[in-house]
Chain A
Amino acid sequence: MKFVSDDFLQEASESMESLGDKGISRRAFMKFCTGMAALLALPASFAPKIAEAIRGKKPYLVWLEFQDCAGDTEALLRTTAPAVGDIVLDVFAVEYHETIMAASGKQAEKSLMDIVKNNKGNYFVVVEGSIPLKDDGIYCCIGGRTAVDIAREVCGNAIATIAVGTCATYGGIPAALPNPTGAVGVKEAVPNATVINLPGCPVNAENITATVVHYLTFGTLPNTDKLGRPYFAFGKRIHDNCERRAHFDAGQFARQWGDEGHRQGWCLYEMGCKGPETFHNCPTVKYNAGTSWPVQAGHGCIGCSEPHFWDTMSPFYRRLPKVPGVSIESTADKVGAGLAAATAAGLVIHGIGRAISPKKEE
């Protein structure tokens, strides 16, 4: 059976020419196009269309960083062979990226404003990091302008904004309680912008690429859920696609780090794995060019792609959250068992009380 047509091979060859010789083999490029089709849940016959789309256009892209750790940048730049990151960077004309650009200071800011002015409605924005709104947003300023001011102008004039990482999508770690800077995600800071959310800590670079490839191929952004996340990447629960799921159903659990169950690769549910609460394509796409992902490496999921995961998914190594308003040592089981014990004790006391109180006359 033939998965790709001769036309596709022809397209791929032409695409290679346009990409130039960047150390990416023709085979790697074909793998990339078919891989992207698979990631977007498209049939292999779409691979030629993807090759064509990548060859044809070269959209401008600016990458903004606000309250972030550059972890999403790292995730993109550190992708290894077959150089998916290189392909992405070649697909785009990256005009502004603080971490990797050569320009700095006023020169750099000018290049950003040039894009916004000269290519209005014709460029993509990737935003990494949350945007503080408290006290007029003064907690994050670049070149004397607040993050929210920059985001309004740059995101408001773009084709679309791709919010990458949990900070840019839902506020992430800067927004964790008590959220001192009033940090929010891009959609909340700039409600009129077209935003697609790719949470994760860090974002999976393959999902950024797939989102852009989808736009280049079909001219639209992929369908999203109510949290603004594309279904192709966030439509399925980690627990349901987990490679250790059979151990969960069997009842085989790691109970301590390094115990027999942990060494056997059993389910990490009892170690606080948040796979049952988290929607992401980690089990299928994995990280670092398909090398591994947390559960494969023997560590439970911490739910990093869910809104407010730092507050709602912690403690990361316990099954249930802490009981709000009660001392940190208390968990639901202790409080619940205490409640039941108090009831039983109350009843015993009541029974004794009745037994010793004077009998009524019939």
Chain B
Amino acid sequence: MATKIIHGKMQRLRVYAWEFPVRLTHWFNAFSILFLSITGYYIGDPFMHAYSSKQWIMGWMRLIHFIVAYVFLMSVIIRMYWAFMGNQFASWRECFPVSTEKRKEFMDALKFYFFIRKEPPYVIGHAALASFTYFLVFVVFIFEIVSGFALYSVSHPPSIVWTLLGGWLLNIMHLPTIRLYHHFVMYVILAFVPLHIYATWYMDPHEKNGLVSSMFSGFKFVPEKEIEEAEQ
């Protein structure tokens, strides 16, 4: 699994960190967010106007939004399933920095981003700060899915399927309020996107571990001594 390579002064090992379902769902999520944001924004504020009733702009936007919403739902389900079935780097346990070691890692990463610490904490999979952030991102994803199905349910005859997928939310929130939050939370996700890309772009040359390509190939290049430390 791990192949020794020589990189600069440091011995690095090639480690298979991200398994196929992790990479697949990552890119499905990324493209879903892109399509859902564009079509969803149009549905909330139709910025293009048809001048002939032969056009079907809102129709297409809603159709794409609903189809991609199902793709996104499946992607999120697969990733959550893999949090229980995948390797240690994909595990749900990564999300919660509860151990002393993880808490230190979490604080070290925060200090690094706020210029207090020069070195980021070196880890093979997710850093504690990153994985906790992804946990919050998934909470936000699930809110978008549930609120989306709540809004979608009102154009269907009442059925247990729609109630389970999101219709139950109508019992505790008014329809316009759900619409507002569903719309607003899009911006929360859109704020996360540059943060995520920036952090990756910034960390990749810093860690020299092939962070960007790892989300394509699955492999990271980790200094040998860090693996030894991790195994202790």
Which A residues have a C-beta under 8 Å from some C-beta of B?
A: 226, 237, 239-240, 246-253, 255, 261, 269-270, 274, 276-277, 303, 306-308, 312-313, 319-321, 323, 332-333, 335-337, 339-340, 342-344, 347, 350-351, 353-354, 357, 360, 362
Contact = CB atoms under 8 A, between A and B. Distances in A.
B46 interface: yes
A266 B190 CA distance: 32
Interface stretch (B12-20, B48-56, B100-108, B125-133): B48-56
Top 8 closest A-B pairs, CB basis?
A336-B187, A251-B57, A251-B50, A312-B174, A249-B59, A343-B191, A277-B175, A347-B198
Interface stretch (B87-95, B113-121, B212-220): B113-121
Given A306-B175, A333-B45, 6 more contacts: A251-B55, A277-B179, A332-B180, A339-B188, A339-B191, A343-B191
B183 A332 contact: yes
Interface of B: 8-9, 44-46, 48-59, 61-62, 113, 115, 118-119, 154-155, 171, 174-177, 179-180, 183-184, 186-188, 190-191, 194-195, 198, 202
A251 B188 contact: no
B50 A308 contact: no
A270 B46 contact: yes
Contact of B177 (A274, A307, A321, A335): A321
B190 A354 contact: no
Given A277-B179, A332-B180, A340 B56 contact: no
Nearest to B195: A343
Contacts of A350: 113, 198
Given A323-B180, A323-B184, A340-B187, A253 B202 contact: no
Given A312-B174, A320-B179, A360-B118, A251 B191 contact: no
B45 A319 contact: yes
B176 A253 contact: no
A335 B49 CA distance: 25
A247 B49 contact: no
B30 to A, nearest CB: 17
A343 B189 CA distance: 11
B187 A249 contact: no
Nearest to B41: A333
A248 B175 contact: no
A269 to B, nearest CB: 7
B4 to A, nearest CB: 20
A278 to B, nearest CB: 8
B115 A252 contact: no
Nearest to B46: A253
A360 B51 CA distance: 60
B49 A253 contact: yes
Given A340-B190, A351-B202, A248 B45 contact: no
Contacts of A237: 154-155
A240 B157 CA distance: 11
B191 A347 contact: no
Contacts of A250: 50, 52-59
Contacts of B155: 237, 239-240
A251 B58 contact: yes
Contact of A337 (B58, B180, B187, B188): B187
A252 B53 contact: yes
B176 A312 contact: yes
A3 B52 CA distance: 40
A320 B53 CA distance: 26
Contact of A354 (B9, B50, B186, B202): B202
A116 B62 CA distance: 55
Given A344-B194, A360-B118, A360-B119, A247 B53 contact: yes
Nearest to B60: A251
Nearest to A277: B175
A303 B176 CA distance: 10
Nearest to A320: B180
Contacts of B191: 339-340, 342-343
A261 B53 CA distance: 12
A7 B32 CA distance: 63
Given A249-B59, A343-B195, A353-B115, A336 B176 contact: no
Given A249-B58, A251-B48, A312-B176, A320 B115 contact: no
